[in-house]
Amino acid sequence: MNSLKKPQKKKVLLMGKSGSGKSSMRSIIFSNYVAKDVRRLGATIDVEHSTVKFLGSLILNLWDCGGQDAFTETYLTSQKSQTFSDVGVLIYVFDVESRSFEGSNPRDLLTYTAVISALAEYSPSAHVFALVHKIDLVQNVFRDSVIQDRTLAIQEYSGVFSKKLKVYGTTIWDQSLYKAWGDIVKSLVPNLHIIDGYLHDLAEETSAEEIILFERATFLTVTNVTSELGERNPYSDRQERLSNVIKTFKHSLSKYTHSSTASHPFSEIAIKAPRFNLILARLTNNTYVLVILPPGDLEIELSRFNIMAAKDRFVELDIMGWAAGDTERLEGKLNGRIKDGR
Amino acid sequence: MSRNDEVAEEVSDCFERRSSEAKRKSPQNFPKPDDNLMTSMNSANNEHKTRTNGDNEDLEPGNLLHADHKPRLLLMGLKRSGKSSISNVVFRKMAPHETLFLETTTTIRKEAMHSFMDFQVWDLPGQIDYLDPDFDAESIFGGVGAMIWVLDAIDNYMEPVSRLTETILHLQHSYPDIKYSVFIHKVDSLTEDFRDDTMRDVRQRITDDLYDAGLENPPITYYGTSIYDHSIFEAFSKVMQGLVPQLPTFEALLNTVSANCRFEKAYLFDVYSKVYIASDTTPVDMKAYELCADLIDIIVDMSEVYGWDRGQDQQETDRSQAVAAPSAESFVSNIKGYHLYLKEINRSALRAQVRQGFRLTIYRNLSFIGISKYSDFEISKVLVDQNMQAFQDTLLKVFPRG
Ligand SMILES: Nc1nc2c(ncn2[C@@H]2O[C@H](COP(=O)(O)OP(=O)(O)OP(=O)(O)O)[C@@H](O)[C@H]2O)c(=O)[nH]1
Ligand SMILES: Nc1nc2c(ncn2[C@@H]2O[C@H](COP(=O)(O)OP(=O)(O)OP(=O)(O)O)[C@@H](O)[C@H]2O)c(=O)[nH]1
Ligand SMILES: [Mg+2]
Ligand SMILES: [Mg+2]
């Protein structure tokens, strides 16, 4: 597993019709915009490249491809190989209000199909995510059925990717955006199973009901461990809700601290409530961890201790450019743990 | 309003536990409060203007009408000035951009705020002429503590200014105790310079008009407000504080706690509306208020997601730990060298059956928030706990529960 040596670079294509909301979502997730700021964005000319470090182990190479017809044309012709080779993920954004989605001339879907064939030719192993965006413009009661209809239509036009394809209804006005992007990023993080293993250990040491690992800059969920009790939590959308809420808090804190988006806005938030204890703490340079515990004073002190102790382990996962030996060591630790009967 | 219900569930649960705990604890087990605090406690007792709140009061709208003992706050102003927007943003958590869809109000809308004492906030339709002699003024203005006049700062303000002065002159003889606030509203749409000019001009005109009519030094306070930032919450806080007769006591108490626990700034908040009822008497820094308000947002949200009822077994353990965790508290450490501490002072819930069979749940939720420069205040937790306990005891004495 040479992949552990260096942070992995993944190319992410962001495509879809002009005005569908690609730059808006990118700015909210990665550039610390809040939803009401995106009106300031102009149409993207050609491709806007950006590089985002995610955890220590992943570098996202974002290609925000301006969606006006003339640009799309060149992606599919003169710039075809350049655009579609080495793609890790294609995110295709559909505007839910678009009039050219279905009907006799479903231009949105036809363009999508052309993109899909180019991708199949140059990067057949890529993941494909389709976002039915601006779902806030659809009345609540119709949302599920609209998403379902669109999913079927999109699937039909997805060629060889139709099985792998994942479709989400999203809007910049609520947590649905965090749900989709959390899943997208999870599909790219290398060695997620090792991180998972460590998180399970921590869960056991702390008798936590739930542990969620967040990436520091985006507050997207990297992974989580949930106990049987925690599975009964009626808020099934809580991960993306938390991403949204914490990101908002982080954004408001930047007003007081005038600090750059890259720094850590706080070291810890703790809540002792009658029904639960919560700790949200900085774990490593790139992560925050949320731990939910049973109520009681002792629980929270013990867990804080355990989190401190776990830090070292997670730091190993965090550092850039791991030395060759680390791979074996990390894998070894993991296997040892599995042998222990977990 | 699922959030209300959920939080209230937890809150009521906690209240039940608190009361059983109170029985268990004998007085001599209470930590000995600090001397200073004792002094303020005594003075608090002397001032003691008691108002009790029936804990099982039925809160159907009809009953609110007759509950005269609650200080009433009126929102008045011309049509489209922003009264309903303010009421919805502060008391119903409406997102500011959603107010664009509000329709004109045709009947009086009443909001109740329940914390240590109950307020009513009435949103009056701008289209009614309240000065009409046929109008039953007493039903509206009788028992009013404060009036907020909402004035649209981007509109021509001649008409609202003259309507306000007419109203004040009309009411001054029958209801001389009403305190007036003018919200020069929607200032988000004005540039900073223009905004200051507008505020000065509005104030000057009102003062002149009233002076010409023979009213000197009218009891009016002016605020620049917008629903798109914290200014509306800050202004509402100030107006509310004007209705709290015990304000000096609270301030003294908060001063004492701050001094004892080395807080830079200490607040008493109504968590649901983010209105603060009192702060210590060090100068108020708008930023500090905003920080506290944002802290409340994240804590309320996280508590909603994880405050679900885990069922019987869980409650058993809860009960045995009730002494250890009497009410929620929260820490945020190291926001550029500052640390935040939040402690719920008192939790209890009122429930009432509404006709349609919906359960209307109202709760009281008062919190202390302190801002500290010292990261070790968790180590001195015992001291903080003692002070909080004494603080809470005193508050309960100032406001005994019915
Ligand atoms: N209602 C609604 N509007 C949105 C949403 N997301 C983005 N928008 C709006 O859509 C408009 C276009 O957004 P952009 O992000 O610039 O679109 P784009 O896909 O980058 O367009 P090109 O760069 O031309 O390809 C903006 O004015 C946004 O305010 C959403 O979730 N709901
Ligand atoms: N820019 C800006 N607009 C606001 C603000 N507050 C309210 N508005 C807008 O003002 C308009 C009128 O608001 P309402 O709250 O319905 O006015 P009202 O005073 O209740 O009107 P009536 O019910 O007819 O008496 C809405 O479109 C709001 O979005 C603000 O602080 N800034
Ligand atoms: Mg764009
Ligand atoms: Mg109205």
Asked whether residue B100 falls in the same domain as residue B134, the answer is: yes
Query: What are the chain B neighbours of A265 within 8 Å (beta carbons)?
Result: 335
Does the pLDDT value for residue B289 go beyond 80? yes
Over residues A144-151, mean pLDDT: 93
Q: B213, B241, B269: which is the final residue of a domain? A: B241
Confidence grade of residue A265 (pLDDT, cut at 50, 70, 90): confident
Asked whether residue B95 falls in the same domain as residue B183, the answer is: yes
Does the pLDDT value for residue A225 go beyond 70? yes
Burial class (CB in 10 A: 0-12, 13-18, 19+), B139: exposed
Asked whether residue A166 falls in the same domain as residue A207, the answer is: no
Complex ipTM > 0.85: no
The percent of chain A in helix, strand and coil, each rounded to the nearest 5, is 45, 25, 30
B99 vs A: CB within 8 A: no
The C-alpha torsion from A24 through A30 and A31 to A35, rounded to 10°, is 40
In this predicted structure, which of A316-320, B215-219, B321-325 has the lowest mean pLDDT? B321-325
Picking from B10, B330, B332, the nearest residue to A274 by CB comes out as: B10
The whole-angstrom distance between B329's CA and the closest CA on chain A is 5
Sign, CA dihedral A161-A167-A171-A177, equals negative
Check if the beta carbon of residue B51 is closer than 8 Å to that of residue B399. yes
Between CA A199 and CA A222 the distance in angstroms is 11
Count of pairs with CB atoms under 8 A, one residue in A, one in B: 116
In this predicted structure, which of A83-97, B179-193, B296-310 has the lowest mean pLDDT? B296-310
Asked whether residue B218 falls in the same domain as residue B118, the answer is: yes
Does the pLDDT value for residue A71 go beyond 90? yes
Over residues B343-353, mean pLDDT: 48
Asked whether residue A146 falls in the same domain as residue A256, the answer is: no
B8 vs A: CB within 8 A: no
> Is the CB of B77 inside a 6 Å radius of any atom of ligand 2?
yes
Kindly report the number of other CB atoms within 10 A of residue B12's CB atom.
17
Q: A140, A168, A186: which is the final residue of a domain? A: A186
Top-ranked range on mean pLDDT: pick from A249-258, B233-242, B390-399: B233-242
CA of B82 to the centre of ligand 2 (A): 3
CA of B86 to the centre of ligand 2 (A): 8
> 3-class DSSP state for residue A224?
strand
Domain that holds residue A241: 192-340
The whole-angstrom distance between B290's CA and the closest CA on chain A is 9
Query: What's chain A's average pLDDT?
Result: 84
Q: Higher model confidence: residue B38 or residue A238?
A: A238
Asked whether residue A197 falls in the same domain as residue A178, the answer is: no
Asked whether residue A236 falls in the same domain as residue A330, the answer is: yes
How many angstroms from the chain centroid is the CA of residue B373?
26
Picking from B290, B304, B310, the nearest residue to A229 by CB comes out as: B310
Asked whether residue B7 falls in the same domain as residue B106, the answer is: yes
Q: Do A269 and B97 touch (CB under 8 A)?
A: no
Confidence grade of residue B109 (pLDDT, cut at 50, 70, 90): confident
Q: Do B290 and A256 touch (CB under 8 A)?
A: yes
Closest ligand 2 atom to B228 CA = 31
Does the pLDDT value for residue A63 go beyond 90? yes
Confidence grade of residue B331 (pLDDT, cut at 50, 70, 90): confident
pLDDT tens readout for residues A181-203: 999 998 888 878 888 888 888 88
The whole-angstrom distance between B267's CA and the closest CA on chain A is 18
A186-189 contacts at long range (C-beta below 8 A, 24 or more positions apart): A186/A221, A186/A222, A186/A223, A187/A89, A187/A127, A188/A8, A188/A10, A188/A12, A188/A54, A188/A58, A188/A60, A188/A88, A188/A89, A188/A127, A189/A54, A189/A55, A189/A57, A189/A58, A189/A222
Q: Higher model confidence: residue A132 or residue A298?
A: A132
pLDDT tens readout for residues B9-20: 333 333 223 333
Structure tokens at A206: 């702390």
Q: A186, A210, A239: which is the final residue of a domain? A: A186
> Is the CB of B224 inside a 6 Å radius of any atom of ligand 2?
no
Kindly report the number of other CB atoms within 10 A of residue A242's CB atom.
24
Q: Higher model confidence: residue A259 or residue B358?
A: A259
Q: What residue type is assigned to position A288 of the chain?
A: Y
Asked whether residue B200 falls in the same domain as residue B315, the answer is: no
Q: B221, B241, B261: which is the final residue of a domain? A: B241
> Which CATH number does the domain housing residue B321 bear?
3.30.450.190
Asked whether residue B169 falls in the same domain as residue B228, the answer is: yes
> Which residues are within 8 A (CB) of B137 and not within 5 positions of it... i.e. 6 or more apart?
B130, B171, B174
Between CA A223 and CA A182 the distance in angstroms is 9
> Is the CB of A135 inside a 6 Å radius of any atom of ligand 1?
no
> What is the pLDDT at residue A318?
60
Asked whether residue B193 falls in the same domain as residue B251, the answer is: no
> What is the pLDDT at residue A83?
94
B372-375 contacts at long range (C-beta below 8 A, 24 or more positions apart): B372/B261, B372/B262, B372/B263, B372/B264, B372/B338, B372/B339, B372/B340, B372/B341, B373/B262, B373/B264, B373/B337, B373/B338, B373/B339, B374/B262, B374/B339, B375/B333, B375/B334, B375/B339
Q: Do A271 and B329 touch (CB under 8 A)?
A: yes
CA of A144 to the centre of ligand 1 (A): 21
> What is the pLDDT at residue B377?
60
Over residues B135-147, mean pLDDT: 83
> What is the pLDDT at residue A140?
82
The C-alpha torsion from B319 through B325 and B328 to B330, rounded to 10°, is -150
B336 vs A: CB within 8 A: yes
B226-232 contacts at long range (C-beta below 8 A, 24 or more positions apart): B226/B185, B226/B186, B226/B187, B226/B188, B227/B82, B227/B85, B227/B86, B227/B89, B227/B96, B227/B99, B228/B96, B228/B188, B229/B188, B230/B286, B230/B289, B230/B290, B230/B293, B231/B187, B232/B86, B232/B89, B232/B90, B232/B183
Does the pLDDT value for residue A294 go beyond 90? no
A318-327 contacts at long range (C-beta below 8 A, 24 or more positions apart): A318/A55, A318/A56, A318/A57, A318/A284, A318/A285, A318/A286, A318/A287, A319/A56, A320/A6, A320/A7, A320/A56, A321/A5, A321/A6, A321/A7, A322/A4, A322/A5, A322/A6, A323/A5, A324/A5, A326/A4, A327/A1, A327/A2, A327/A4, A327/A5
Number of independent structural domains in chain B:
2
Q: A157, A186, A215: which is the final residue of a domain? A: A186
> What is the pLDDT at residue B15?
29
Quote the percentage of chain B above a pLDDT of 90. Answer: 19
Query: What are the chain A neighbours of B310 within 8 Å (beta carbons)?
Result: 229, 232, 275
Give the length of chain A. Answer: 342
Q: Do B306 and A273 touch (CB under 8 A)?
A: yes
Transcribe A235-280 into DSSP letters: -TTHHHHHHHHHHHHHHHHHHHH---TTS-S-SEEEEE-SS-EEEE
For a mutational test of ligand 1's pocket, the pick from A14, A24, A47, A111, i.e. the residue with the most ligand atoms closer than 8 A to its C-beta, is A24
> Which residues are within 8 A (CB) of A316 and not within 5 positions of it... i.e. 6 or more apart?
A322, A326, A330
pLDDT tens readout for residues B47-67: 332 222 333 333 333 333 333
Asked whether residue A182 falls in the same domain as residue A197, the answer is: no
Quote the percentage of chain A above a pLDDT of 70. Answer: 88
B5 vs A: CB within 8 A: no
Asked whether residue B330 falls in the same domain as residue B208, the answer is: no
For residue B2, the chain A residue with the least C-alpha distance is: A235
Over residues A145-160, mean pLDDT: 93
pLDDT tens readout for residues B64-108: 333 345 778 899 999 999 999 999 998 888 888 888 888 898 888
DSSP category for residue B283: P
Q: Which residues is B110 bridged to in the sheet?
A: B122
In this predicted structure, which of B9-13, B154-158, B283-287, B376-380 has the lowest mean pLDDT? B9-13
Q: Higher model confidence: residue A333 or residue A118?
A: A118
Check if the beta carbon of residue A150 is closer than 8 Å to that of residue A132. yes
How many angstroms from the chain centroid is the CA of residue A300?
29
Picking from B306, B307, B334, the nearest residue to A266 by CB comes out as: B334
Number of independent structural domains in chain A:
2
Query: What are the chain A neighbours of B299 within 8 Å (beta carbons)?
Result: 271
> Which CATH number does the domain housing residue A293 bear?
3.30.450.190
Sign, CA dihedral A184-A187-A188-A194, equals positive
Asked whether residue B233 falls in the same domain as residue B378, the answer is: no
> Is the CB of B185 inside a 6 Å radius of any atom of ligand 2?
yes
Asked whether residue A118 falls in the same domain as residue A222, the answer is: no
> Is the CB of B109 inside a 6 Å radius of any atom of ligand 2?
no
Asked whether residue B294 falls in the same domain as residue B196, the answer is: no
Q: What residue type is assigned to position B299 of the chain?
A: I
Asked whether residue A211 falls in the same domain as residue A303, the answer is: yes
> Which CATH number does the domain housing residue B185 bear?
3.40.50.300
> What is the pLDDT at residue A241?
92
> What is the pLDDT at residue B356?
30
Q: Higher model confidence: residue B352 or residue B180?
A: B180
B305 vs A: CB within 8 A: yes
Asked whether residue B145 falls in the same domain as residue B260, the answer is: no
Strands A58-65, A47-54: pairing kind = antiparallel
The whole-angstrom distance between B239's CA and the closest CA on chain A is 25
Picking from B318, B321, B328, the nearest residue to A271 by CB comes out as: B328
How many angstroms from the chain centroid is the CA of residue B297?
15
Over residues A25-32, mean pLDDT: 89
Transcribe A147-194 into DSSP letters: HHHHHHHHHHT-GGGTTT-EEEEE-TTSTHHHHHHHHHHHTT-TTHHH
- What strands lie across the sheet with A127-133, from one edge to the other? A47-54, A58-65, A8-16, A87-95, A127-133, A166-170
Asked whether residue B72 falls in the same domain as residue B97, the answer is: yes
Domain that holds residue B121: 2-241
In this predicted structure, which of A228-232, B54-58, B78-82, B136-140 has the lowest mean pLDDT? B54-58
Q: Which residues, by Cβ under 5 Å, contact ligand 3, an ion?
A: A 23, 44
